[in-house]
Structure 1
Amino acid sequence: MTLYGMIFSICFFLIVSFFFSTHTVDYANETETSGKNNVPVKKIASAPVKDTEPSDEESPELMAFYHKIEQTMTATVKSFNGDVGVTYVDLTTGKQLSVNGTKEFYSASTIKVPLAMMIADKVQAGNLKWDDQLTFNEKEDYEDGTGIIINNIQPSYSLRTLQEYSITYSDNIAKNMLYDTFGGDVAAKKALYAHFLQKETDWDDAKFTSEDAAKILKILFEEKSSNQEYQTIYNYMKNTVFHERMETPTTSGKVAHKIGSYAGFLHDIGILETEHPFILTVFTNGETDAGIPFISTLTDQLWTVQSNEYPKK
């Protein structure tokens, strides 16, 4: 082969190698995704809370910590004889971890938290006043179960009293009277689910997932510093008369929570005030009162991990 022939062969080989190389850019695909890959959709949906560096969430120390949280949740859930849904949210970073987080449970009295928040929103919008008197209607409002109104029913109650009773005492009659301000329980639940969760529910069997409840508590926590009425609800949750489930000897005075109970459905949703506060929502459906010690055990275990093993900056 002549010198010119060899040079031609080498050039031809290099040109062919370039065009068929695996490093060649697919410009058609790049155009379709351009502007979308810079910030992935999943990152937007689960963006960290304010003042958190994105790199913090990816640090090896924090990843190991969240792995320990997840292991604790998974192992404890396996010990329960029944259905469980658990969601944890680190309020420092916004990181959320769930076990059966999308499993639905009858909401029971956990629904009283978003109900109280919606009442507060209506007052702030000028549609209601805290000193408004609501008349008790036995046919519409009476309900057995928890609360103190049932022990001495009065003809009317102020809106503020009903809101406080619905959270502090988990008062069922107070809840029903608050529903009346929306035109009844069906209308109230429809508005509640649409506003906080952007979804519908079976109104005769209102259901929550642990992730639904965590979403609501995250709104309460993040807005209470600028919304005095949400801060008031948070204070009611801290001063509830139900010293059980998430309120243990370890967490006493350091948890704002709301229990829910109906037959085997035993729940608790709360915000725990460690140095790095976190949300915990636990929904159970099991034998008799089995959910109560289960929730307490899981709470103490996660409290210990959060308090003792959270990475230092």
Structure 2
Amino acid sequence: MDKKNKIIIISLLSALLIALCVLVVEMKSTEKKAYQGLTEIEEDQNMEVENDDNSQYIDMSLEKDIEAHFQEDGIDHERVAYCITDLEHNIKYSMNEKDEFIAASIYKLPLAMLYYDKVNEGEYTLDSTFTYSGYMHEDAGVISSDYGIGSQVPLSDLLNDLIIYSDNDAGHILYENLGGWKEYKEAMTKYTDSISENYYTMDNVTTANTMNDVVTYLYDHKEDYKGLIKNMEKAEPGEYLDRDTQLSMPQKYGMYDYALNSVGFVECNTSYSIVVLTSLGDKGADVMANINRIAYEHFK
């Protein structure tokens, strides 16, 4: 082989080697980007196991499937928080669970629980009545349609309308009877020790962690809250968390301005509780429905 041919062959091999190196670098870069896409929120995502014996049931595919949905739909992670708890094995999967969001009407779930506790303890009966004062009127709803200012409203009506119709006047009457907004907030900490920085202000804020504690407590003591759970099943069935699964699951939804939230639980092969808080406007409905669909497919 003459010198000229050797040079040509060496040049071709060098070019091929360079091309292969570039290809490898590009493949590694693409792989890295894909990995970063799937782990973009790992710092915000958490997985907690209350019992080390249950570590065998950990399955990170749930969080990966939710993250894949976020990537596919271009969801802003900072505007969503969720907590999903495997109620059989006490494993919690979460994202942004300590971030404060506008609670909207999901505050009414622990408020109702406080009154069911009082009925169970004999402090009230469902026939007990509460005064409907003028300053408790917030907007048009079932209570304001059925009762005039100054009326005595039965607790049974207040609890039903509070959950089924998310009636704001019912909520106002009930938390004022506890002493006021801040007194209500203090009372409901019996269900949680996850209190955020601005929790005790007059702002209606919450976190996914806080509401996860509440709904987990509800599930663990569901025999004490049969009436409440039935009302949760009647409130907008097939919507919010339940939109894609159509399970008639018990849930409490809330919306205010750009906030759209819901909290509930699903009884299936591996029962789970779920909290989704969003500040995405109408897009929040798609996000919460998809997250619950993914969770149900995982646990069913």
Same fold per TM (> 0.5)? yes
What are the superposed Cα offsets for residues 69-105 of structure 1, whole Å, 9 maximum, x if unpaired? 1112223344323611011101111100101111111
Q: Identify the match of residue 126 of structure 1 among 105, 108, 122.
A: 122
Asked if structure 2 preserves the Cα contact closer than 8 Å seen for 1:251 and 1:300, the reply is no
Give the distance between the partners of 2:234 and 2:105, measured in 1 at CA.
16
Give the distance between the partners of 1:250 and 1:272, measured in 2 at CA.
10
Matched residue, 1:143 = 138
Matched residue, 1:42 = none
Give the number of aligned pairs.
Answer: 245
Matched residue, 2:272 = 278
Post-superposition offset of 1:242: 5.5
Q: Identify the match of residue 73 of structure 1 among 58, 63, 66.
A: 66
Matched residue, 1:262 = 256
Matched residue, 2:293 = 300
Matched residue, 2:163 = 167
Q: Identify the match of residue 231 of structure 1 among 213, 221, 226.
A: 226
Matched residue, 2:109 = 113
Equivalent position amino acid for 1:289 in 2: D
Give the distance between the partners of 2:145 and 2:290, measured in 1 at CA.
33
Q: Does 1:208 find its partner at 2:240? A: no
Unaligned runs of 5+ in 2: 1-47
Give the distance between the partners of 2:251 and 2:260, measured in 1 at CA.
13
Instruction: Indicate the RMSD between aligned Cα atoms, in angstroms.
Output: 2.0
Asked if structure 2 preserves the Cα contact closer than 8 Å seen for 1:103 and 1:210, the reply is yes
Matched residue, 1:156 = 152
Post-superposition offset of 1:203: 2.9
Asked if structure 2 preserves the Cα contact closer than 8 Å seen for 1:251 and 1:272, the reply is no
Give the distance between the partners of 1:179 and 1:223, measured in 2 at CA.
22
Q: Indicate the SS of the match to 1:268.
A: strand
Give the distance between the partners of 2:131 and 2:237, measured in 1 at CA.
27
Matched residue, 1:34 = none
Q: Does 1:47 find its partner at 2:64? A: no
Q: Pick closer, same or farther for the CA change 1:46–1:125 going to 2, 3 Å.
A: farther
**Percent of matched pairs sharing the same residue:** 24
Q: Pick closer, same or farther for the CA change 1:296–1:249 going to 2, 3 Å.
A: closer
Equivalent residues in 2 for 1:72-91, closer than 5 Å: 72-78=65-71, 79-81=74-76, 83-91=79-87
Post-superposition offset of 1:129: 2.2
Q: Identify the match of residue 58 of structure 1 among 48, 55, 58.
A: 55
Matched residue, 1:310 = none
Q: Indicate the SS of the match to 2:273.
A: strand
Post-superposition offset of 1:46: 4.7
After the TM superposition, which segments of 4 or more aligned residues of structure 1 sit over 6 Å from their partners? Answer: none
Q: Indicate the SS of the match to 1:102.
A: coil
Asked if structure 1 preserves the Cα contact closer than 8 Å seen for 2:244 and 2:293, the reply is no
Post-superposition offset of 1:293: 1.3
Q: TM-score normalized by structure 1?
A: 0.73
Equivalent position amino acid for 2:252 in 1: K
Give the distance between the partners of 1:218 and 1:300, measured in 2 at CA.
19
Unaligned runs of 5+ in 1: 1-44, 49-53, 308-313
Post-superposition offset of 1:148: 1.9
Give the distance between the partners of 1:158 and 1:187, measured in 2 at CA.
22
Q: Pick closer, same or farther for the CA change 1:258–1:213 going to 2, 3 Å.
A: same
Q: Does 1:186 find its partner at 2:182? A: yes
Give the distance between the partners of 1:295 and 1:117, measured in 2 at CA.
24
Give the distance between the partners of 1:248 and 1:210, measured in 2 at CA.
20
Q: Indicate the SS of the match to 1:259.
A: strand
